[in-house]
Chains A and B, each alone.
Chain A
Amino acid sequence: MDTLQALARGFAGALTLPHLGWALGGVTLGTAVGVLPGIGPALTVAVLLPVTFSLDPTSAFIMFGGIYYGAMYGGSTTSILINSPGETASVVTAIDGYEMARQGRGAAALTTAAIGSFVAGTLATIALTFFAPLVASVSLKFGPAEYFGLTIVAFTTVAALLGSSVLRGLLSLFLGLALGLIGIDQLTGDARFSFGVPQLLDGIDVMVLVIGLFAVGETLYQAWRHGRDDLQVITLHDFTGMSREEWRRSWKPWLRGALIGFPLGVLPCGGSVLPTFVSYLVEKRLSDHPERFGHGAIEGVAGPEAANNAAAAGVLVPLLTLGLPSSATAAVMLTAFQQYGLQPGPLLFSTRPDLVWTLIASLYIGNAMLLVLNLPLAGVWARVMLVPRPLLFGGILVLASVGAYSLNRSMVDLLLLYAVGAIGCAMRVHDVPLVPAVIGLILGPLSEQQGRRALAIAGGDPSVFVTRPICATLLVLAAAVLFGPRIFRLKAEATGISA
Chain B
Amino acid sequence: MSRVSFRLKAEATGSHLSWGLCGLLACAVPTPADAQPPIQHLRIIAPAAPGGGWDQTARVMQQVLQRTNLVHTSSVENIPGAAGTIGLARFVTAERGNGDVLMASGLIMLGAIVTHRSPLTLHDVTPVARLTGEYEVLVVPAASPVRSLAELVRALQTQPEAVSWGGGSAGGTDQILAGLIADSVGVDPRRVNYIAFSGGGESMSAILGGQVTVGVNGLGEFAAQIEAGTVRVLGISSRERISGLDAPTLREQGIDVELENWRSVVAPPGVAGPDRQRLERTIDAMVRSRDWHDALARYRWNDRYLAGDGFARFVDAEEARVQGILRKLGTGRNPSVSLAGAGLYPMLVLLGLAVTAVATTAAAVRSIRPERADDRASRRARWSSIALVASGIVLDLLLVERAGFVLASTALFWCTARAFDTKHPVRDLAIGLMVSFAAYVVFARLLELPLPRGVLARWI
Contacts and interface: CB of A to CB of B under 8 A. Distances in A.
Interface string B340-375: 111001100110110011011001100000000000
A460 B428 contact: no
Contacts of B201: 268, 318, 324-326, 330-331
B116 interface: yes
A453 B209 CA distance: 15
A42 interface: yes
Nearest to B351: A174
A203 to B, nearest CB: 10
A389 B352 contact: no
A459 interface: yes
Contacts of A415: 397
Contact of B66 (A50, A184, A448): A50
A199 B416 CA distance: 28
B444 to A, nearest CB: 9
A54 interface: yes
B170 A402 contact: no
A187 B170 contact: yes
Contacts of B6: 54
A492 interface: no
A191 B116 contact: yes
A74 to B, nearest CB: 14
B124 interface: no
Interface residues of A, number: 110
Interface stretch (A105-113, A115-123, A135-143, A257-265): A135-143
Nearest to A39: B447
Interface stretch (A14-22, A222-230, A305-313): A222-230
A486 to B, nearest CB: 21
B382 A391 contact: no
B456 interface: no
A459 B10 contact: no
Contact of B447 (A44, A175, A177, A401): A44
B451 A406 contact: yes
B419 A226 contact: yes
Given A36-B442, A185-B342, A397-B392, A457 B115 contact: no
A281 interface: no
Nearest to B385: A223
B349 A444 contact: yes
Contact of A346 (B211, B228, B353): B228
B56 A343 contact: no
A189 B168 CA distance: 11
Please classify how large the interface on chain B is, using the bins under 10, 10 to 19, 20 to 34, 35 or more. 35 or more
A219 interface: yes
Contact of A220 (B211, B334, B386): B386
Contacts of A268: 199, 201-202, 205
Nearest to B353: A174
Contacts of B386: 220, 223-224
B170 A188 contact: yes
Nearest to B119: A198
Contact of A341 (B115, B298, B401): B298
A144 interface: yes
B51 A345 contact: no
Interface string A28-55: 0000000010010011111101110110
Interface string A187-218: 11111110000110110000000000000000
A224 B382 contact: yes
Given A42-B50, A202-B80, A460 B208 contact: no
B170 A186 contact: yes
B349 A174 contact: yes
B50 A347 contact: no
A376 B118 CA distance: 53
Interface stretch (A125-133, A163-171, A295-303): A163-171
A491 to B, nearest CB: 30
A304 B262 CA distance: 44
Contacts of A335: 50-51, 55-56, 59
A436 B142 CA distance: 42
A230 to B, nearest CB: 12
Interface string B58-80: 01001100100000000011111
A482 interface: no
Interface centre among B59, B63, B201 (most CB of A within 10 A): B201
A398 B342 contact: no
A496 interface: no
A324 B209 contact: no
B1 interface: no
A189 B331 contact: yes
Contacts of A50: 10, 13, 59, 62-63, 66, 76
A455 B451 contact: no
B332 interface: yes
Interface string A446-466: 001100110111011010000
B257 interface: no
B336 interface: yes
Contact of A318 (B164, B205, B432): B205
B409 interface: yes
A167 B363 contact: yes
Given A201-B116, A394-B432, 7 more contacts: A50-B13, A189-B116, A189-B171, A198-B118, A335-B56, A347-B228, A401-B400
16 contacts: A50-B59, A223-B420, A224-B385, A225-B382, A226-B420, A324-B208, A331-B50, A335-B59, A345-B228, A346-B224, A347-B224, A390-B418, A393-B416, A395-B413, A401-B400, A459-B337
Interface of A: 36, 39, 42-47, 49-51, 53-54, 139-144, 167-168, 170-171, 174-175, 177-178, 180-181, 184-193, 198-199, 201-202, 219-220, 222-228, 231, 268, 318, 322-326, 328, 330-332, 334-335, 338-341, 343-348, 388-391, 393-395, 397-399, 401-402, 405-406, 408-409, 411, 414-415, 418, 421, 430, 432, 444, 448-449, 452-453, 455-457, 459-460, 462
Closest 4 interchain pairs by CB? A345-B224, A189-B170, A227-B381, A331-B51
